[in-house]
Structure 1
Amino acid sequence: MFKLDTPLARMKAIASGLLLMAAALYVTALELAHAQPVFASYLKAFSEAAMVGAIADWFAVTALFRRPLGLPIPHTAIIPRNKARIGTNLGEFICTYFLSREQVLAKVGEFDTAKRLAEWLSNPVHATALSNLSLRLASHSVGALRDERVSQFVRSTAFARLEQIDLARISGQLLEVLTDDGRAQEVLEGVLDQIDLMMQSEATQKRIADLIAAELDILRFNIFGKEISFSGVAGTWTSDKLVKRISTVISEVNEDPEHELRKHFDEQLLALVAKLKDDPAFRLRASQLRAQLIQHPALHSYLTGMVDSVVDWFEADIHSDTSTLRQQLNAGVLKLGEALNEDPAMQSWINEQVLALAGPMVERYRAQIGDYIRERIEQWNEEELVEQLEAQVGRDLQFIRINGTLVGGIVGVLIHVGTQVFVPG
């Protein structure tokens, strides 16, 4: 018994039913040949042509997927026998007409990646989802630091990396970059200004006066039998004079680009940079300091405690209903989306970068996509391939059989009429 639980099976039943109906009409025409010869002749012409059309189209449709009736008829089972060629042609067709560089770039340009990204980020639901995902990933990564194996690996890797760093040379290069193009003089001016502000502070002046007074406390005089100390007065006076002198010097240096102190500062700085970069003694001393620092137990203890504290705080925060990190991430994502949505220049830059990236990616992976399609079809089991293709297009192909039956019958009648009219009986 046939199962009609799929659209394909139902269409096959309809097409086969029409063939059987044509056969039944043919038998009826034979039975009516003596009683109703004219009507029977037309009915016979219709049914004969309908059966021929139905069988011919059944053969054609079936031959696409398998051998009709299992017979080894040439040029049948076309799809299974040519699946390698079909895979190659299909891959080339898709790569040529769907994945060409121009077509993909045009579609990417129409997509407007930056605008869609801005709208997506500006949605509070998306911002929350992205923040939660980020925190889950971060929680897993940070939580792994509690495992002693991971912690030991991180420490050993970090210290091994520190041992390879040339602190002296890096410090020299960094100092050279930071003070290049006259920036050293700007640094000097900033330092002198801060010193001047500090010296003008009443607290600093009192501290200086107290220190000077303490040093001068031994200077005591006996006048009229009374011991008198000038330490307090001398300290205050000296402090005031010192502050004024320092302020004067700072003003002179800041106002005179050619001041001797500026030149001396540059010379000393250049000498320090040269020593840090090239002086073996400086580099040796830096290496010794680095080794002492790395081997010091306090550093290991500090780093371990710091990592544990960070992990504790992080885990406590993300599990809190009022998580600061989650709030900040949500606000940051929304702000980023709003800023991007209001910045056409940034949107244009993002779209340009996407287009610049898409072109090489298309060229790189297009051939691989074609190869994948070919290999996938070649690896398909023939029965599986036929089943999948027939499930997709087989229902529509049954209309060929139906149309073949009906059109064949009509053509048969037309031929019969033409014969009656144009061929003398």
Structure 2
Amino acid sequence: MFKPQTPLVRMKAVASGLLLIAACLYITALELTHIYPTFASYLKAFSEAAMVGAIADWFAVTALFRRPMGLPIPHTAIIPRNKARIGSNLGDFICTHFLSREQVLAKVSEFDAAKRMSEWLSIPANATQLSGLAVSLAGHGVGALRDERVRQFVRTTALARLEQVDLARMSGQLLEVLTDDGRAQEVLEGVLDKVDAMMQSETTQQRIAQMIAAELDVLRFSVFGKEFSFSGMAGNWSSDKLVRKISTVISEVNADPEHELRKAFDEQLHTLIEKLKEDPAFRLRASQLRAQLVQHPALHGYLTGLVDDLVNWFETDIRSDDSTLRLHLNSGVLKLGEALREAPAMRSWINEQLLIAAGPMVERYRAQIGNYISERIDAWNEHELVEQLEAQVGKDLQFIRINGTLVGGLAGLMIHGGTQLLAGV
């Protein structure tokens, strides 16, 4: 006994079975014509019209996918012959009715991605999963640094970047930023305060006294045949005078924003910045220092050792049950989720940024999606395309054949009945 394997095959069998039943009824009607002429005429009309309807609808359904009976009948195999147009129209339909800017932005707005993200990040299991994934990915990346080819690439890239650095100009720009908006004077005041504190130190004063005494040790005089020296007393006196003088000057500078030393400091600093940024001699010297640094074996060894230490630390940490990195990441993810949950303004900002980004993305990729659909359908093998479409809608299309058989038969009955009625009249 035939056992249908798919819904499509089963429905085809039902539709074909009805056609076969109509044919049997037609043969029966012919046999009963001489015995029951009236009944036979109605049965013949029904079965004949049913067969016509069934065959016509079979032709219509089949013509969508292939040529009926392989005959080159015009306007058959409609889908295979027009697959390029179908693909283009389908792509346009999807882009117009499903991927319009307004529709996509409305869905993005309804989605409330920031709220969903904050809720998801606030769940400890999710935070652990995310941090574990991040550490795992980072572990693969850092582990690659053990490969000599990668190590060589890192060294070469780092040194190449260093060779391109304009040390003089960068130093000038950095110094300019650090000393802008009066910060240079703050630095000067801090340095002077440190100098004053250092000069007030007993240890510093003793060292100054010893230095001065050593210089004045040549000044000796003789009394009654015995030599005396002013070095010790002069050294202590000079040290005390020097410290007091320096403290006085520092106090004057700190108290007077317009002090000459402040102006001189600003001028010298400005001159140094301009030389670092523009003076060829300074830049040449910086380039020479950079070249010496790049070529120095110690730098190569330092970079290699730095990479090794980083890799060793990272791998040791992530293998540990109480990994510091994993714990910090996990804690950071949870705190981020909690912070977002408690900050509606931040969530609103995130959603706004997503909407801003989504608009151009829709416009940029919508046409590409339509083209992809069109190209994909056009590239399909005709047999593959027919199989895919028939598998999806073929079952429902068989109802056309079934309805055609039944409706055709009923129409035949009505026409025959009407004819008999008119003939009797």
Compute the TM-score of the two structures, normalised by the length of structure 1.
Answer: 0.86
Q: Distance in 1 between matches of 2:335 and 2:193?
A: 38
Q: Distance in 1 between matches of 2:3 and 2:251?
A: 103
Deviation at 1:250, TM superposition (A): 4.7
User: Partner of 1:272 in structure 2?
Assistant: 272
Contact 2:198 2:204 in 1 (8 A): no
Residue identity (%) = 73
User: Partner of 2:26 in structure 1?
Assistant: 26
Deviation at 1:193, TM superposition (A): 5.0
User: Partner of 1:78 in structure 2?
Assistant: 78
Q: How does 1:189-228 map to 2 (within 5 A)?
A: 189-193=189-193, 199=198, 205-212=201-208, 214-215=210-211
Secondary structure at 2:413's aligned position in 1? helix
Deviation at 1:325, TM superposition (A): 0.9
User: Partner of 1:186 in structure 2?
Assistant: 186
Q: Distance in 2 between matches of 1:80 and 1:241?
A: 104
Deviation at 1:61, TM superposition (A): 0.5
User: Partner of 2:372 in structure 1?
Assistant: 372
Q: Distance in 2 between matches of 1:52 and 1:194?
A: 111
Contact 1:208 1:239 in 2 (8 A): no
User: Partner of 2:223 in structure 1?
Assistant: none
User: Partner of 2:137 in structure 1?
Assistant: 137
Contact 1:66 1:80 in 2 (8 A): yes
Q: Distance in 1 between matches of 2:127 and 2:84?
A: 48
User: Partner of 1:321 in structure 2?
Assistant: 321
Q: How does 1:155-170 map to 2 (within 5 A)?
A: 155-170=155-170
Deviation at 1:174, TM superposition (A): 1.5
Contact 1:45 1:409 in 2 (8 A): yes
Q: Which amino acid aligns with 1:399?
A: F
Contact 1:212 1:231 in 2 (8 A): no
* Residues 323-332 or 254-263, more deviating: 254-263
* Residues 33-42 or 370-379, more deviating: 33-42
Contact 2:101 2:362 in 1 (8 A): yes
Q: Which amino acid aligns with 1:25?
A: L
Q: Structure 1 pair 270/424, CA: closer, same or farther in 2 (3 Å)?
A: same
Q: Distance in 1 between matches of 2:76 and 2:399?
A: 20
Deviation at 1:213, TM superposition (A): 5.6
User: Partner of 1:341 in structure 2?
Assistant: 341
Give structure 2 stretches of 5+ with no counterpart: 221-225
* Residues 346-355 or 326-335, more deviating: 346-355
User: Partner of 2:385 in structure 1?
Assistant: 385
Q: Structure 1 pair 13/150, CA: closer, same or farther in 2 (3 Å)?
A: same
Q: Structure 1 pair 380/239, CA: closer, same or farther in 2 (3 Å)?
A: farther
Q: Distance in 1 between matches of 2:241 and 2:309?
A: 48
Per-residue CA distance 1:135-163 (angstroms, 9 max, x = gap): 22222222222222221222122112212
Contact 2:209 2:238 in 1 (8 A): no
* Residues 99-108 or 247-256, more deviating: 247-256
User: Partner of 2:10 in structure 1?
Assistant: 10
Q: How does 1:97-112 map to 2 (within 5 A)?
A: 97-112=97-112
User: Partner of 1:94 in structure 2?
Assistant: 94
Deviation at 1:287, TM superposition (A): 2.0
User: Partner of 1:261 in structure 2?
Assistant: 261
Q: Distance in 2 between matches of 1:421 and 1:192?
A: 126
Q: How does 1:30-69 map to 2 (within 5 A)?
A: 30-69=30-69
User: Partner of 2:153 in structure 1?
Assistant: 153
User: Partner of 1:282 in structure 2?
Assistant: 282
Q: Distance in 2 between matches of 1:33 and 1:313?
A: 101
2:120 is equivalent to residue 120 of structure 1: yes
Q: How many residues align?
A: 417
Q: Structure 1 pair 193/32, CA: closer, same or farther in 2 (3 Å)?
A: farther
Secondary structure at 2:424's aligned position in 1? coil
* Residues 58-67 or 353-362, more deviating: 353-362
Q: Distance in 2 between matches of 1:7 and 1:313?
A: 62
Q: How does 1:377-416 map to 2 (within 5 A)?
A: 377-416=377-416
Per-residue CA distance 1:96-142 (angstroms, 9 max, x = gap): 22222232223223222322332333333332232222222222222
Give structure 1 stretches of 5+ with no counterpart: none
Contact 1:3 1:9 in 2 (8 A): no
Q: Distance in 2 between matches of 1:27 and 1:131?
A: 78
Per-residue CA distance 1:336-364 (angstroms, 9 max, x = gap): 22222332333233223322322222222
**RMSD after superposition:** 3.3
Q: Distance in 1 between matches of 2:320 and 2:272?
A: 51
Contact 1:205 1:239 in 2 (8 A): no
Contact 1:33 1:40 in 2 (8 A): yes
Q: Which amino acid aligns with 1:78?
A: I
Contact 2:65 2:80 in 1 (8 A): yes
Q: Distance in 1 between matches of 2:203 and 2:112?
A: 66
* Residues 327-336 or 1-10, more deviating: 1-10
Q: Which amino acid aligns with 1:91?
A: G
Q: Structure 1 pair 386/235, CA: closer, same or farther in 2 (3 Å)?
A: farther
Secondary structure at 2:201's aligned position in 1? helix
